[in-house]
């Protein structure tokens, strides 16, 4: 019952956005209650968003896909490598380095915007998607996540057995640590993908409206003298739709992987 209530409360804003996207501008401006069910006009709204002269939808979609996929894959790889190092290797300064990495999570992102922007300007990356990708290739949260998971999910005996058999440390990581880390790595990849897909603050500063991501493109729909809220809501739902598709396809596999990783042998 509690889960059902949480589901309804969480899904209602998205459902209401879909209703507004399929409503006409007159009823929205009069604050009339929209219909209880969306109609076929929502598809016309989607088409209007894709063909709108205010935004370059397909460029924004391409940028969002590239940024989200590249950052997700890189973050999973770097976080799993660092997590394996912190959790299972012994070397001087390991604990101090881990504390330093975790401490960076306490620094607000806004504090680093000005020096980061200056650095991107020096590299001539303003308006280019690498200005969004490169600073996000490593995640302190991802390192902490994978460290905690591998510390309990990967026995030392497996690592020692691989080393005794003559496997190098890199081979041990790929053949032993990576399969063990797969459930947590999958969840981390999904978290990072959603975070990058919906990120607005930094891309809006460093990319602008000429080379936007989808959240910036939807925001540009409000840049005119007259705001078509039906068009804006259709754009908002269209931005969210790929995430719903991703969850629909990978959600069951992620849950199965988590449950498999939780089983103690």
pLDDT in tens, 90-142: 889 888 999 999 998 888 888 889 999 999 999 999 999 999 999 999 999 99
Residue 184 CA to residue 150 CA, distance in Å, equals: 9
Give the confidence band of 47 by pLDDT, cuts at 50, 70, 90: confident
Q: Where are the alpha helices (DSSP H) in the chain?
A: 2-21, 25-29, 41-50, 57-88, 94-103, 113-122, 130-133, 140-153, 156-164, 169-172, 178-198, 201-206, 214-220, 229-262
Q: Give the max Cα distance, the chain.
A: 75
Please write the tens of the pLDDT for every residue from 138-194. Answer: 999 999 999 999 988 888 888 888 888 888 888 888 988 898 888 889 889 989 999
Supply the DSSP string of 8-33, one letter for each residue: HHHHHHHHHHHHHHTS-HHHHHTTPP
- Calculate mean pLDDT across residues 59-83: 94
Residue 65: what pLDDT? Answer: 94
Residue 157: what pLDDT? Answer: 86
Backbone angles phi, psi at 65, to 5 degrees: -65, -45
* Global pTM value: 0.85
Give the confidence band of 265 by pLDDT, cuts at 50, 70, 90: very low
Residue 210: what pLDDT? Answer: 81
Residue 69: what pLDDT? Answer: 95
Residue 262: what pLDDT? Answer: 52
């Amino acid at each position: 019952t509690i889960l059902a209530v949480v589901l309804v409360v969480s899904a209602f804003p998205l459902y209401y956005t879909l209703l507004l996207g399929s409503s006409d501008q007159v009823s929205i401006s009069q604050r009339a209650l929209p219909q209880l069910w969306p109609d076929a006009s929502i598809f016309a709204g989607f088409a209007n968003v894709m063909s709108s002269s205010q935004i370059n939808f397909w460029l924004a979609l391409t940028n969002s896909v590239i940024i989200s996929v590249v950052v997700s894959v890189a973050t999973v790889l770097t976080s799993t490598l660092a997590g394996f190092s912190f959790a299972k290797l012994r070397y001087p300064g390991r604990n101090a380095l881990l504390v330093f990495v975790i401490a960076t999570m306490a620094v607000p992102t806004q504090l680093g915007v000005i020096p980061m922007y200056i650095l991107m300007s020096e590299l001539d990356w303003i308006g280019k998607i690498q200005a969004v990708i490169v600073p996000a290739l490593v995640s302190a949260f991802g390192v902490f996540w994978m460290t905690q998971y591998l510390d309990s999910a990967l026995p030392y005996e497996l690592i020692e057995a691989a080393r005794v058999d003559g496997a190098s440390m890199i081979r041990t990581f790929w053949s032993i640590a990576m399969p063990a880390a797969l459930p947590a790595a999958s969840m981390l990849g999904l978290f990072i993908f959603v975070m990058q897909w919906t990120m607005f603050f930094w891309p809006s500063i460093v990319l602008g409206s000429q080379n936007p991501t989808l959240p910036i493109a939807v925001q540009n729909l409000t840049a005119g003298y007259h705001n078509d809220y039906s068009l804006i809501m259709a754009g908002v739902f269209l931005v969210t739709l790929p995430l719903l598709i991703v969850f629909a396809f990978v959600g069951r596999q992620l849950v199965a992987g988590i449950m498999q990783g939780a089983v103690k042998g």
